[in-house]
Amino acid sequence: MTKFICETKNLSKKYKDFYALKNVNLTIPKGEIYGLVGENGAGKTTLIRLLTGLNFKSEGEIILFGHKDNLQHERSKIGCTIEMPALYKDMTASQNLEVQRIQRGIPNKKCITDTLELIGLSNAGKKRVANFSLGMKQRLALGVALLGEPEFLILDEPVNGLDPTGIIELRELLKKLVKEREVTILISSHILSELHQLATCYGFLHKGELLKQISTEELNEECKRHICLRTDNIQKTTLLLEQKGNINNYSVYPDNSIRIYECLDNVRMISKLLSSNGVIIDEISVQGENLETYFENLIGGRKNV
Ligand SMILES: Nc1ncnc2c1ncn2[C@@H]1O[C@H](COP(=O)(O)OP(=O)(O)OP(=O)(O)O)[C@@H](O)[C@H]1O
């Protein structure tokens, strides 16, 4: 069994001379919730349209469930909400799902009640979609995508327009799907903090390029506030920190920087301790940022590229 549900290799999409996607190498491991983050126009929808077969790639490769051939067959295991699906406004939630079930030739009628239960619309009863809140419509759209019991769920900006309660409900529902049905999810958003309590890994897309893929643990580590320290002697520095500064909560990074996670309000003490013991300090600063600043800094370095 393949480790990755979805991979792309140098995937590009060109409109005349304009690259909407350029050499994207994406990997989505099984069982993860992959947050695809990018500003408006970054290429998120384009990428999703290529994965789901709604548009043709210009160059590169798409591998779904470990296969690069016969993708149409592999795509039958994908459920997708890309933009709002055509819901019949004069029908109820149950009737809408029934239409979709028949159109897609799904035999078991029981999937309607199961899906309504799963998306929390069992009590919507005779209410017509025309009278649904946006949150209810979003959940019904998700229900449509879930009808065929997909192994891979792709959601394009599903939190758009949802109020905080709606966002929490959606988050819980998606977590439940991963846990109970072992679904792998790709979810796009232009707001990193919206995905933060949900996604288990991230891909940052900017101007058609995938700048970085990172796990939640790595992201949290990068965003954690710390004192970044560089000196001419790591061994002596760590010895002084522990023995004279009583500082034990730190890590040494491969680039020879030291990150200290305590004593953030007393940088001066650390700097005095080191210099008075003959250590030369090349850098000492408090770093770490909130999620949006992290994202802005990440794409900021590429703003003029
Ligand atoms: N059919 C098309 N012809 C030409 N350019 C296009 C076409 N479709 C998309 N683009 C361009 O490709 C770029 C990426 O668009 P895309 O819709 O994928 O971005 P997005 O990240 O989904 O943005 P949003 O969050 O606004 O939906 C944009 O600059 C867009 O104008």
pLDDT at 138 over 80: yes
> What is the biggest distance separating any 2 CA atoms in the chain, rounded to whole angstroms?
79
Give the tens place of pLDDT for each residue, 47-71.
999 999 999 999 999 999 999 999 9
pLDDT at 87 over 60: yes
Instruction: Report pLDDT for 304.
Output: 43
- What is the residue extent of each domain of the chain? 4-220, 225-287
Instruction: Report pLDDT for 21.
Output: 97
Rounded Cα gap, residues 261 and 30, in angstroms: 33
The pTM of the full predicted model, rounded to 2 decimals, is 0.81
Contact 131, 89 (CB under 8 A): no
Beta strands in the chain (DSSP E): 4-15, 18-24, 27-29, 33-37, 59-64, 78-81, 152-156, 184-189, 201-206, 209-215, 226-231, 250-252, 258-260, 281-287
Average pLDDT over residues 229-258: 94
Contact 244, 236 (CB under 8 A): no
Q: In sequence order, which residues have a C-beta less than 8 Å from that of residue 200 and are 6 or more positions away?
A: 32, 33, 34, 215, 216
Distance 202 CA to ligand 1 centre (A): 20
Fold of 225-287: Alpha-Beta Plaits (3.30.70)
pLDDT at 264 over 60: yes
Token pair 């997909």 in the structure block, residue: 150
Torsion on CA atoms 295, 166, 85, 121, rounded to nearest 10: 150
pLDDT at 305 over 70: no
Give the tens place of pLDDT for each residue, 141-171.
989 999 988 999 999 888 877 778 878 888 8
Rounded Cα gap, residues 286 and 261, in angstroms: 10
Instruction: Report pLDDT for 59.
Output: 96
pLDDT at 243 over 80: yes
Pocket of ligand 1 (CB under 6 A): 15, 20, 38, 40-46, 190
Among the atoms of ligand 1, which is closest to the Cα of residue 38?
21
Instruction: Report pLDDT for 289.
Output: 72
Give the tens place of pLDDT for each residue, 191-215.
888 888 889 999 999 999 999 999 9
Distance 117 CA to ligand 1 centre (A): 35
Contact 141, 105 (CB under 8 A): no
CATH architecture of 4-220: 3-Layer(aba) Sandwich (3.40)
Average pLDDT over residues 101-109: 87
Among the atoms of ligand 1, which is closest to the Cα of residue 42?
21
Output the residue whose Cα is nearest ligand 1's atom 3. 15
User: What's the DSSP call for residue 63?
Assistant: E
Distance 46 CA to ligand 1 centre (A): 6
Q: What is the pLDDT of the chain when averaged over all its residues?
A: 90
Give percent of the chain with pLDDT exceeding 70: 96
Of residues 296 and 70, which shows the higher confidence score? 70
Among the atoms of ligand 1, which is closest to the Cα of residue 43?
18
Average pLDDT over residues 4-29: 96
Average pLDDT over residues 82-108: 87
Rounded Cα gap, residues 237 and 242, in angstroms: 9
